[in-house]
Structure 1
Amino acid sequence: MPRTRTVLLVAMVAAIAGASASLFFEPRIAQRLAGTAAGQRLLDAALKAKADPPPAGVIVGERGGIVPDMRVRDLDGRAVALPDAWAGRTTLVNVWATWCAPCLKEMPELQAFAREQGANGTQVVGIALDDDTAVRAFLRAHAIGYPALVDTPGPADAGVRLGNPAGVLPYSVLVAADGRLLKTRIGPFRDAADIAAWAATN
């Protein structure tokens, strides 16, 4: 029995190594894979395996678990409690930065999705790991109207606490009305339809 486990472990490591190598040499495969639930889980596991452990006392959210309580500033400097601020409503939290080109490209699509949701649908919230001034200027210039929060990037930032210890941006999570972390997304969405499909399936 122990020998069978060893063989299975070696086979799994070889499969992950082979998949990683193919992704390195074939970016189109990586893009297609990242668009699937299985691909996202594989990518998430690979990135978490490479990431440094979070500092002592920092709780990292896990799929299916309650999002750890945290406070993140809004652009007026007020502390906003997550996940409590939007309790009772499904929330799509998008972690981004003004220096991240894929983040900026998807934000108009997030804005379009947020507009379609209205007052009763999924709430979109952005958390910028960035400088307040740069964030404020970008949001104003691009008419992004969903709530925007700001956090200082680092080993205990909001992205890490939401399950992204590797710090890859953009990074999105879907939080249930009861505060459970339903799913995560590493990398950008293609368009508003992609966002809607992702948010609709748990």
Structure 2
Amino acid sequence: MSQRMNRKQWLSVALIAIIALFAGIGISHWLAKNRLSGDPSAQQFFQQEWVKPDGQILNPAIWQSRLVLVNFWASWCPPCVAEMPALDQLSKDLASKPVIFIGVGIDSPSNIREFLLKTTVSYPIVIGGLEGSQMGKTLGNSQGALPFTVIIDAKGQIIYRKLGKIDADELKNVILKAI
């Protein structure tokens, strides 16, 4: 009799495990379909402490409810420098929209400060350094090359990645479709 109880107990446990497995799979698919789970790499970006060239610390958690365009660049990178006026103009054109532009300088603080004295950029620039380079890789830049641009939607999903010089019209279309 105790052997039968054991078998019944095992069957009950196995049935519960199978139900839990399918419930977990179903919830996971639902979260992904409804974009409620957020991309873990994007969440890391929002948890990083970013410092502006003037030493001011920015809290990226306040950007989470907005569409965020992140552009990784360096002052020694000709395509990076060439695309900055277009990014600056696009940020101004979309200033009334729920989108924020962030430039992550993969350079020394002094080089970034010197560059910004000569080049007007209206959106926030933060110092990336080695952590910024690693963050670019975390967000999908496996080559570590520059420039690299990512757009993260308000739900924390990466909706756009571009390695190389951006196309302003393409970016504008992606942003307008996402907001």
The TM-score by the shorter chain falls in which range?
0.5 to 0.7
> Unaligned regions of 5+ residues in structure 2, if any?
1-37
**Any residues of structure 2 matched to 1:65-144 within 5 Å, and which?**
65-66=39-40, 67=42, 68=44, 69-82=47-60, 84-144=61-121
Q: How many residues align?
A: 137
Counterparts of 1:194 and 1:201 in 2: how far apart (Å)?
A: 11
Post-superposition CA distance 1:116-146 (Å, at most 9, x none): 0114342111000101121122223121110
Change (3 A) 1:78 1:196: same
Structure 2 CA distance for partners of 1:128 and 1:155, relative to 1, 3 Å = closer
1:52-87, Cα deviation, whole Å (9 max, x unpaired) = xxxxxxxxxxxx6241232222213344344x1312
Normalising to structure 2: TM-score of the pair? Answer: 0.68
Q: Secondary structure at the match of 1:124?
A: strand
Higher helix fraction (1 or 2): 2
Moved runs in structure 1, 4+ residues, more than 6 A?
none
Measure, in 1, the Cα distance between the counterparts of 2:110 and 2:154: 31
Write the letter of the residue equivalent to 2:106. Answer: L
After superposition, the Cα gap between the structure-2 partners of 1:120 and 1:197, relative to the gap in structure 1 and judged at 3 Å, is closer
Aligned-partner Cα distance in 1 for 2:76–2:145: 13
Letter in 2 for 1:195: L
> Unmatched 5+ residue regions in structure 1?
1-63
Amino acid of the residue matched to residue 170 of structure 2? Answer: D
Matched, 1:194 2:162: no
SS in 1 for 2:75: coil
Q: Offset of 1:193 from its aligned partner?
A: 1.9
Please give the per-residue CA displacement for 1:93-130, whole angstroms capped at 9, x wherever unaligned: 00000011000000000000000011434211100010
CA RMSD of aligned residues (A): 2.2
**Amino acid across the alignment from 2:53:** L
What is the alpha-carbon distance in structure 2 between the residues aligned to residue 107 and residue 155 of structure 1?
18
